[in-house]
Amino acid sequence: MRLLDPSGLEALRVALAGAPAPKRRLWVCGGPGCLASGAAKIQAALAAEVKAKGLGDGVGLRTDLTGCLGLCEMGPMVGVEPEGYLYGNVTVEDCRELVSETLLAGLPVGRLLANPDNPTRSEQPFYQSQTQLITKRFGKTIPGSIEDYLKTGGYAALGLAISKLGPLGVAERVEASGLRGRGGGGFPAGRKWASCRLAPGTAKYVLANGDEGDPGAFMNRSLMEGDPFSIIEGMTLGAYAVGASRGFIYVRHEYPISVERLDGAIKEAEKMGLLGHNILGSGFSFNLSTVEGGGAFVCGESTALMASIEGREGQPRVKYVRSTEKGLWDCPTLLQNVETWANVPIIVERGPEWFKSKGTKDNPGTKVFCLVGQVKYSGLIEMPLGSPIRTLVFGVGGGTKPGRRFKAVQIGGPSGGCLPYSALDLPLDFDSLSKAGAIMGSGGLIVMDDISCVVDVARYFTGFLMGESCGKCAPCREGLTLIYRILDDLCQGRGREGDSAVLEKLATNLARTALCGLGQSAGNPLLSTMRHFGEEYLEHELEGFCRSGRCQGLFWPDINPNLCVGCGSCLAACPTRVISGQKKEPHRIDLTGCVSCGSCIAICRFGAAKAIRKGGSQAARQADHQADLADPSKDAPKTNNIPTPQSVTKDPTQPAPKGGGQAGA
C-alpha cells in the first residue's frame, strides 16, 4: 500500500494503533550479544514449540526477535509481554517450559528469571535509572516491521513535517532543541543543519555514520538492528529540511545484519511511499541506500567516510572547509551519527521544549551507552545526558565484580580517556568529559578494576589505534608506533629512565600535528592514564614494578592471610603449582618456581592475592597486609556482599562468559 498524503498516513497510524494486540508475546532479544550466544536458535525453538502445540496467531500468542533488551551480561534474554518478566541465560532446552508456563499460562519460570528478586523488567535497578527514548522500541517491536514502527508512533514526525512544519520548521525545531551530534564531538546539530541548508548548490547529500569500530561498543549496531526505521525517518526529515534528495547510510562491513535490516527497512518504507519519489504527495523526493564499509576503523572519520562512499581509499583529508559546504563529491553534505538521526523524529514530533526537559541545559536529550568491562551487569544503557558516571557504573551496572575495586573507566572508545575513582561524580555530558580529558566518543564505557594495569591498557589502545592508523600522515603512522614500542618496553620491564616524559611529549605533539581527528586523539588513552595514574608509569619505568599484577615478570604475587578464605581458586589456576594450602585455610605461594603470570591475582575474588614489589622487605609486606584491611572499600564490596566460599562455584551474579565477545570485551 502506498500512502499518498499525510492524512492517509495518519489514518493508517490510527488504524494500526487500534488493532488488537496479541494476548501474550515472548520477545527474544536480537541484540548483538544475544544473537552471538544463540538467540536466533532460541526464537526458532520457541516458534517450533508454539507450532507443535497448535498455538498460532489465532490465539494471540507470539514469539519474535526484537531489539536489544540491554542486559547483555545475562544473554540470551527473553522478555514477556504484557507481564514484563525478564529471563536470562536462556537455552534451547528451556523453550518448552517457557511456552507451556509463561506463554500459555502467564506464569514466571523462576529458575530462568534474570533477577529472581525482581522478576519484571520495570522492577529492576538496571532499567529503573534509564530513560529510553532512542531505545524505546527495543523489546516492544519487531525491528524490520514497518507496521510495528507506525503503531509505536513512527512517522508521526514526518507526517507533521509535511502537513504543518515545512522544511524550515523542521530545521528550526532541531536547532531550538539544542541537539548535539552523538558521534563523539558533540557538535551542535542545528548549526550543521543550518550551514548545509544555506550552502549554495542543488545537489546535497545526507549521510548517516554507522561505522562503529570502537572495541566494546555496540550502541549503533543495536540501533541499526533494533530500530532501523527511526534512522530512516530521521534522515528523511533531515533531507527534507536541508533540501537533499539523496542519502547514504554508511555501515561497518562487520555488521551484515545491520545492512540487511536497513536494506529491508528502506524497501518497506519505499513500498509505503515514505521514501522515494514524491513522498506523501509533498513533491519532496528522497532516495536512500546503505553503503557497506571496507573494514577500516578510520572510515568512521567524516572525510574518510566520504572518500569511501565515493569509491576511493578510505582516508581522511585535511578539512579546512566544512563538509556542510563541500563534502561528498564536493557537494554540501549533512553527516550525522545514526543515533543523532534517531533523535530527530522525537524532536520534530514532540517539540524542542519537551526534548530539552531531558538531560541538561547544554546537553539535552539522552545518550545510549555501552557499559562493558569489569562490571557486574554489562549492557546497553540509555541515560539522560548529565547523569553522573557513578549512576551508570554502580547504579545500573551494579559496580565491579566481587572482590574487585573500581580503578578507572575508559570513556569514548580507544581514543577516549581514562577517568579515575575521583571523577565518578562527573556528569556524563560532552563538555564535562572533554574538560576532564576524556571524550564522549560514541558512548562506550569500559570499566577497569584494580587488576587492570593502566600502562597495559594504554598499550592495548595504542596498539589498536596503531593497527588502524591509515598511515597517511607521518605523526600518526610513525609516532603511534614509537609510542607503542615505548609502552611495550615499559610493560616488559625494559623501561628506560625518562620514558614517561618522552611519552608525554610524543602524545602532546601527536595531538597537535596529526592530520585527522583520529590521529589527534590517539594519544588520549596514554595522556589521560598518565595524568591520573602517573605513579604507575614511574613504577614501571624506574622500578620495573607493576602493582596491578598484570605485566608478567614485574611483580611477585602475594596472598594476604587476613583476606584469604582458602577457596582454592588460585591453587587451581596456578600453572606452575607453587601455591599450597588446605581448603578454608589461608594459602601460601612459594616464589621459587613462580613465573609471575598473575593468574592467582586475576582469579582471586576476595582481593587476597596481590602484586608486591620484587625484593620488597617482609615488614613492608606485613604493613601492606594490614593496610589492605584498613582501606575503606572504595565501593568494591569488601565486607558486605562478599561471596561465601560455597557460592564461589555458582554465583548468580557471575554467569559464565558467553560468546559474542562484544559485551565481554
How far apart are CB 475 and another protein at their closest, in Å? 6
Interaction pattern, residues 288-317, with another protein; x per rule: CB under 8 A: --------x--------------------x
Nearer to another protein, 11 or 318 (CB): 318
Judged by CB under 8 A, the residue of 9, 161, 419, 470 near another protein is 470
**Residue selected from 44, 482, 573, 594 as contacting another protein according to rule CB under 8 A:** 482
Which residue number, 342 or 470, has a Cβ lying nearer to another protein?
Answer: 470
> Which residues have a Cβ under 8 Å from the Cβ of 198 and sit 6 or more positions away?
none
Single residue of 68, 368, 396, 473 touching another protein by CB under 8 A: 473
Helices 524-532 & 499-513 angle (0-180, nearest 10): 140
Per DSSP, the three-state class of 26 is strand
Binding mask 509-548 for another protein (x = CB under 8 A): xx-xxxx---------------------------------
Whether the Cβ atoms of residue 103 and residue 33 lie closer than 8 Å to each other: no
Residue 356 or 485 having the CB closest to another protein? 485
Site for another protein in 545-604 (CB under 8 A): none
Binding to another protein in span 149-168, by CB under 8 A:
none
Site membership for another protein, residue 58 (CB under 8 A): no
Choose, by CB under 8 A, the member of 33, 159, 475, 544 that binds another protein.
Answer: 475
Please, what's the b/e burial string for 420-442 (b: 16 or more CB within 10 A of its CB; e: otherwise)?
beebbebbbbbbbbeebbbbbbb
DSSP-derived secondary structure for 266-313:
HHHHHHTTSSBSSGGGSS--BEEEEEE--S-GGGGSHHHHHHHHTTS-
3-class SS of residue 67? coil
Q: Decide: is 429 part of the binding site for another protein (CB under 8 A).
A: no
Minimum Å gap between C-beta 318 and another protein is 4
Stretch that binds another protein, among 359-367, 386-394, 502-510, 563-571 (CB under 8 A): 502-510
Distance CA 181, CA 365 (A): 11
Which range touches another protein (CB under 8 A), out of 262-270, 453-461, 481-489, 620-628?
Answer: 481-489
Q: For another protein, which stretch binds (CB under 8 A), given 101-109, 363-371, 506-514, 657-665?
A: 506-514
Question: Which residue, 325 or 543, is less far from another protein as judged by CB?
Answer: 325
Q: Which helix (H) or strand (E) holds 57?
A: none
d(CA 135, CA 69): 9
Q: How far is the CB of 465 from another protein (least distance, A)?
A: 9
Q: Is 195 in the site for another protein (CB under 8 A)?
A: no
Cβ distance to another protein smaller for residue 26 or 199: 199
Helix (H) or strand (E) holding 579: strand 579-580
Q: By three-state DSSP, how is residue 45 classified?
A: helix
| List of residues 6+ apart from 49 with CB closer than 8 A | 95, 96, 98, 99
Please select the residue that binds another protein; options are 191, 271, 322, 477, rule is CB under 8 A.
477
Stretch 102-141: interaction string toward another protein, x if CB under 8 A: ----------------------------------------
Question: Closest distance between another protein and the C-beta of residue 313, in Å?
Answer: 8
Nearest Cα residue to 558 out of 611, 598, 630: 611
The CB-of-180 to another protein minimum distance in angstroms stands at 22
Least distance to another protein, CB of residue 294, Å: 11
* Residue 471 in the binding site for another protein (CB under 8 A): yes
Task: Give dist(CA 130, CA 136) in Å, integer.
Answer: 11
State in angstroms the smallest separation of the CB of 506 from another protein: 7
Residues in binding contact with another protein, number by CB under 8 A: 32
The DSSP secondary structure of 610-665, one letter per residue, reads: EEE-TT--HHHHHHHHHHHHHS---SS-SSSSPPPGGGGSS-TTSPPPPTT-TTT-
Closest CA to 389 of 369, 362, 374: 369
Rounded CA-CA distance 655/657 in Å is: 6
Tell me how far, at minimum, the Cβ of 216 lies from another protein, in Å: 21
Cis peptide leading into residue 82 (ω within 30°): yes
Sole binder of another protein in the list 86, 466, 559, 579 (CB under 8 A): 466
DSSP letters, 320-365, are SS-TTTS-GGGS-EEEEEHHHHHHHHHHHHH-HHHHHTSB-SSSBS
Shortest Cβ distance from residue 511 to another protein (Å)? 10
Instruction: Copy the grid coordinates of residue 426.
Output: 562527573
Of 180, 367, 407, 472, which one interacts with another protein (CB under 8 A)?
472
Pattern 319-358, another protein, x by CB under 8 A: -xx-------------------------------------
Q: How far is the CB of 515 from another protein (least distance, A)?
A: 6
Q: Which of 120, 195, 245, 481 forms a contact with another protein (CB under 8 A)?
A: 481
Please, what is the minimum distance in Å from the beta carbon of residue 477 to another protein?
6
Question: What three-state secondary structure class fits 417?
Answer: strand
Nearer to another protein, 45 or 518 (CB): 518
148, 268, 429, 468: which one binds another protein (CB under 8 A):
468
Closest by Cα among 368, 377, 412 to 396: 377
E-strand ranges in 33-154 read 61-66, 78-81, 86-87
Pairing relationship of beta strands 205-210 and 246-251 according to DSSP bridges: parallel
State the Cα–Cα distance between residues 131 and 528, nearest whole angstrom: 30
Asked whether position 486 contacts another protein by CB under 8 A, the answer is: yes
Q: Does 487 bind another protein (CB under 8 A)?
A: no
- Cell 536470562, residue? 88
User: Footprint of another protein on this chain (CB under 8 A)?
Assistant: 296, 317-318, 320-321, 466-475, 477-482, 485-486, 489, 505-506, 509-510, 512-515
